[in-house]
Structure 1
Amino acid sequence: MVSEYRKKKYLDIFGYYDTDNNGKIEKKDFETTAAMLAKSPDGKIDEAKHKEYLNTLLAIWSGLQQADTNKDGHVSAEEWVAQWDAYAKNPASPYEWQKIYCKFSFDILDAGNDGSIDSDEFVKAYEAWGFKKEDAAKTFGKLSQGKSSLSWTEYQKLWQEYFTTEDTNAVGNLLFSSPSP
């Protein structure tokens, strides 16, 4: 049974994908997310990025269909939590959609496409998602342990830690949240 601590983290991520706040994740939520991520600061959609993001997010959605245990065409919060709980019990064998999701989240942050995330890339992305610049910079400093960048390998470890740990002080918990004041 999933702990309340991990369940809360899983539901935080669920909330990011439930773009219309109707309590379920549907294909249209992934389409909305792709459009949101492809918007430039001036509000225009970069068509090339939109196509790329949409293709990746629809691949995640396709794989996530296995979570829809009652086959009603959407993924409920309970079904979402069950998928991540299964992952936490065996992180060495993630579902394919979870691998794609991890890589996608890294690639979104690696704006320079150089195989690492630097502080500027991280802060810019997190600011766009509503974080304060100072909080984003503080979070990056903790995640990178003071280094100037995060590699793909380091990011995967943090990502895995976020979804598996019960340790409230684990640094991976900061990956999708703001640091405490």
Structure 2
Amino acid sequence: MASGFQRDKITGVFTAMDHDHDGALTEADFDALTDRWREVRGAPVGSPDHHRLATIMLGWWHTLRAAAGTDRVTVHDVLGVVDQLPSALDAVTETANAMFDAVDEDHDGRITPAEHQRLVDAWNGRPTPLGDVFRSLDTNGDGTLSRDEFTALWTEFWAGDDPTAPGTLLFGPVRQSNAKRGV
């Protein structure tokens, strides 16, 4: 069962993805995410980059839909999938690899701070100040994220429960619920 911290970070990502704010993820929400990301990157409609993003996002949608067993995936469905991730790390790695390919705009095998910023802005649907977040994510300090670094961060975010783990910041700072902060 997901901890309060896991619920907070997954709810934050879910809320950002729920484009129409109806409390459920559908294929249309993944289409909207693809469009936001395409726009943030300046990729023309119908371009190879647009098609690549759409393929990756809709692939993720189909995987999530199959795992949840419904065409209207709620945050509780997503949390149920997250509960299964520690025993399905191959699936987490597969998703991380697909996402790395989406984020690595120039296909150079590295994610730059600017590429990461565009991921977060697209995901959140608005410019998102990150401050020194990338420095925390860049565990080897070389100024970029390798596929291996990104995979570790992706795994920490989706399957982890450590608020101090660098991967917790992958989509930007996590807003913790009032109960978690003792408010």
TM-score (norm. length: structure 2)? 0.79
Structure 1, unpaired ranges of 5+: none
* 1:82-121 correspondence to structure 2 within 5 Å: 82-87=80-85, 89-94=86-91, 98-99=92-93, 101-121=95-115
Cα distance in 1, alignment partners of residues 153 and 30 from structure 2: 24
Query: How far 1:20 sits from its partner (Å)?
Result: 0.8
User: 8 Å contact 2:24–2:75 — kept in the other structure?
Assistant: yes
2:166 corresponds to which letter in structure 1?
A: V
Structure 1 residues 56 and 119 mapped into 2: Cα distance closer, same or farther (>3 Å)? closer
User: 8 Å contact 1:60–1:100 — kept in the other structure?
Assistant: no
Structure 1 residues 40 and 169 mapped into 2: Cα distance closer, same or farther (>3 Å)? closer
2:72 corresponds to which letter in structure 1?
A: H
| Secondary structure class of the residue paired with 1:176 | coil
Structure 1 residues 156 and 178 mapped into 2: Cα distance closer, same or farther (>3 Å)? same
Cα distance in 2, alignment partners of residues 164 and 40 from structure 1: 28
Q: Which string of whole-angstrom CA distances, capped at 9 and with x for unpartnered residues, describes residues 95-119 of structure 1? A: xxx5554234323331221011123
Displacement over 3 Å in runs of 4+? 98-101, 123-129
**Alignment correspondent of 1:130:** 127
Q: Which has the higher contact order (CA 8 A, sep 6+)?
A: 2
Structure 1 residues 19 and 104 mapped into 2: Cα distance closer, same or farther (>3 Å)? farther
Higher strand content, 1 or 2: 1
TM-score (norm. length: structure 1)? 0.80
1:130 corresponds to which letter in structure 2?
A: P
User: 8 Å contact 1:68–1:75 — kept in the other structure?
Assistant: yes
1:74 aligns with 2:72: yes
The count of residues paired between Structure 1 and Structure 2 equals: 170
Query: How far 1:40 sits from its partner (Å)?
Result: 5.2
**Alignment correspondent of 1:47:** 46
| Secondary structure class of the residue paired with 1:24 | coil
User: 8 Å contact 2:93–2:151 — kept in the other structure?
Assistant: no
1:121 corresponds to which letter in structure 2?
A: E
Cα distance in 2, alignment partners of residues 124 and 164 from structure 1: 23
Cα distance in 2, alignment partners of residues 117 and 36 from structure 1: 19
Cα distance in 2, alignment partners of residues 86 and 41 from structure 1: 33
**Alignment correspondent of 2:162:** 167
User: 8 Å contact 1:115–1:151 — kept in the other structure?
Assistant: yes
Query: How far 1:78 sits from its partner (Å)?
Result: 0.8
